[in-house]
Amino acid sequence: MSAVTPSSISVKQARGVERLVTGQATSDGAGVKLTRVLTSNLQHRLDPFLMLDHFGSDKPDDYIAGFPDHPHRGFETVTFMLDGRMRHRDSAGNEGLLGPGGVQWMTAGRGVIHSEIPEQQEGVMAGFQLWLNLPGSAKMREPWYRDFTADQIPRFEHAGVKVCVIAGASHGVTGAVQRDTTEPLYLGLEFAPGARFEQPLAADHNGFVYVYDGELRVGNDAGALTVPKNRMAILANTPGSDGVVISAGAAAARALLIAGRPLRQPIVQYGPFVMNTKEQIYQAVEDFRNGKLA
């Protein structure tokens, strides 16, 4: 999709930073090394988001085995690729190749088994996977899948900031995916030195900024907090606030801005299954063992 012209935005009462979070180094799949930025202990605070993983390495042994067949039920996965190529296949018959700047959005719903395997033997493999919860009424819906190449995602540039609108809307530009219940906003942001970005956010939506390159300041000029590389800033739910202000210093920087409407429902997770009750989890495990997922 070609670049579009954004509308002007002004945030009057910006949110501050509640706290900074350092991700946990771990591995997943068949030994893929990654940093788990949003961990399970933050699921209620950052509802409707369940997990954010940041993977990135130029060492093939860190990523080459990928993520072989594994199940999911009860939520959505959003994979945003920065570098490298990953092949998706699933039990619902979907297949796609995710390349640099592309996004894969999968709704597991009642259940799907899928794999994500690198299609490269060397070079950098880097990106993110976000887990977005589904409301109880939609946890058993039919699975859904969509690949977006980099040029299919709406993008614009404003005041020195390049914006990739994966979900939601920004400055009048509607993103690639919309969700009525959780209303997710997912922006990829690239700042030139000294650039400033303002984004409206509903005061009751939970949100965070994850800086993965350089450093940024989040908040109004007087009370802004510096967020260094590889740190997540949880945005305070300030009554009366209408958005967030993010600005770069003397160097360029890159970040994700993610926010959404909380579901305020019970969260019961067992590995790749996220439901509302233990009984639903038991059923998910039994269905997987009996081959009843999609």
Q: What is the pLDDT of residue 8?
A: 66
State the residue for tokens 């005041």. Answer: 159
Gap between the Cα atoms of 72 and 124, Å rounded:
27
Rounded distance, CA 108 to CA 128, Å? 18
Q: Alpha-carbon distance 292 to 285, whole Å? A: 10
Q: Cα–Cα distances in Å, from 257 out to 15, 80, 110, 207?
A: 13, 13, 29, 8
Domain of residue 54, CATH code: 2.60.120.10
Where is 125: in which H helix or E strand?
A: strand 125-133
276 vs 284: CA distance, rounded Å: 12
Question: Are 187 and 153 spatial neighbours (Cβ–Cβ below 8 Å)?
Answer: no
Question: pTM score, two decimals?
Answer: 0.95
What is the pLDDT at residue 1?
43
Residue 239 lies in a domain: yes
Residue 8 maps to a domain: no
Let me know if residue 282 belongs to a domain.
yes
pLDDT of res. 221: 76
Taking each continuous run of H as one helix and of E as one strand, the counts in the chain are 1, 26
Instruction: Flag whether 4 is in a domain.
Output: no
Question: Per-residue confidence of the chain (294 residues) as pLDDT tens digits?
Answer: 445 566 667 899 999 999 999 999 998 888 889 999 999 999 999 999 999 999 998 998 899 888 999 999 999 999 999 999 999 999 989 999 999 999 999 999 999 999 999 988 889 999 999 999 999 999 999 999 999 999 999 999 999 999 999 999 999 999 999 999 999 999 999 999 999 999 999 999 999 999 999 999 999 877 899 999 999 999 999 999 999 999 999 999 999 999 999 999 999 999 999 999 999 999 999 999 999 886
Q: What is the pLDDT of residue 223?
A: 81
Pairing of strands 75-83, 196-200: unpaired
C-alpha–C-alpha distance, residues 97 and 94, integer Å = 11
**Residue 6 included in any domain:** no
The alpha carbons of the chain give a radius of gyration, in whole angstroms, of 19
Does an H or E element contain 283, and which? helix 278-289
Residue 10 forms part of a structural domain: no
Tokens 């990135």: give the residue.
56
Domain housing 138:
17-289
Per-residue pLDDT, 163:
98
Number of domains in the chain: 1
Listed in sequence order, the residues at least 6 apart from 133 whose beta carbon sits closer than 8 Å to its beta carbon are: 47, 48, 49, 50, 74, 75, 76, 182, 263, 265, 267, 274
Indicate whether 9 belongs to any domain: no
